[in-house]
Structure 1
């Protein structure tokens, strides 16, 4: 355990050191990065479009539903949802059950 004098010295050294910058990097992001972001299937869908999809159209392995009132989140695997409700069931209908 450091002595009080050593602790004061360490605190003074830490105060003198410049903190790492948390600002955004100066260099712009590469074109490959933006291309991959825009090609991501989740980039083009809104929540309303997602709710209208059939279970067979959803690429995600885990589906999540959260309650706005109680903040509870429930997860179900897409394969289990298809087995229980059928591949043609709308995600909106499955999420309400």
Structure 2
């Protein structure tokens, strides 16, 4: 445990030394930040492109889809999805099947039955 005198000295040093978190909100971000953002494989990917991916193109270990209607979320490992539906299956078709197999919103009308998928970016 530091002595009170040492604590005062450390506090004075901390006040005089600027920390990176005290930068102004409108200060420009470092160039490395933008490079890492642009190199991310999800950069520029729209939801339509995510839905049209084949299972073999998806790099994630776990696939997740949620229902906009009942707010239920279903997860499946990519390896299991490939084993069950094939590696050429489209992610949107697999996601719809996963939701429909466990759908709890049945009204009897074709237009209203089933879940409404919300895709998370893989």
Q: TM-score, normalised by structure 1?
A: 0.70
Query: Per-residue deviation at 1:28?
Result: 1.5
Query: Per-residue deviation at 1:62?
Result: 1.1
Question: How far, CA to CA, are the matches of 1:55 and 1:41 in structure 2?
Answer: 16
Greater shift in the superposed pair: 8-17 or 85-94: 8-17
Provide the aligned length of Structure 1 versus Structure 2. Answer: 95
RMSD, matched Cα: 4.9
TM-aligned CA distance change 1:74 to 1:7, over 3 Å: farther
Greater shift in the superposed pair: 46-55 or 25-34: 25-34
In the alignment, which residue of structure 2 is the partner of 1:78?
A: 78
Structure 1 runs of 4+ with >2 Å offset? 1-27
Query: Per-residue deviation at 1:61?
Result: 1.2
Greater shift in the superposed pair: 34-43 or 10-19: 10-19
Query: Per-residue deviation at 1:44?
Result: 1.8
Query: Per-residue deviation at 1:29?
Result: 0.8
The SS at the match of 1:92 is helix
Matched ranges for 1:1-97 at <5 A: 25-95=25-95
TM-aligned CA distance change 1:90 to 1:27, over 3 Å: same
**Which digits, 9 at most, give the CA deviation of each residue in 1:19-53, with x for residues without a partner?**
99999634311111101001101112111101101
Structure 2: gaps of 5 or more residues: 96-122
Question: How far, CA to CA, are the matches of 2:13 and 2:24 in structure 1?
Answer: 26
Question: How far, CA to CA, are the matches of 1:87 and 1:81 in structure 2?
Answer: 8
TM-aligned CA distance change 1:8 to 1:22, over 3 Å: closer
Greater shift in the superposed pair: 12-21 or 49-58: 12-21
Query: Per-residue deviation at 1:64?
Result: 0.7
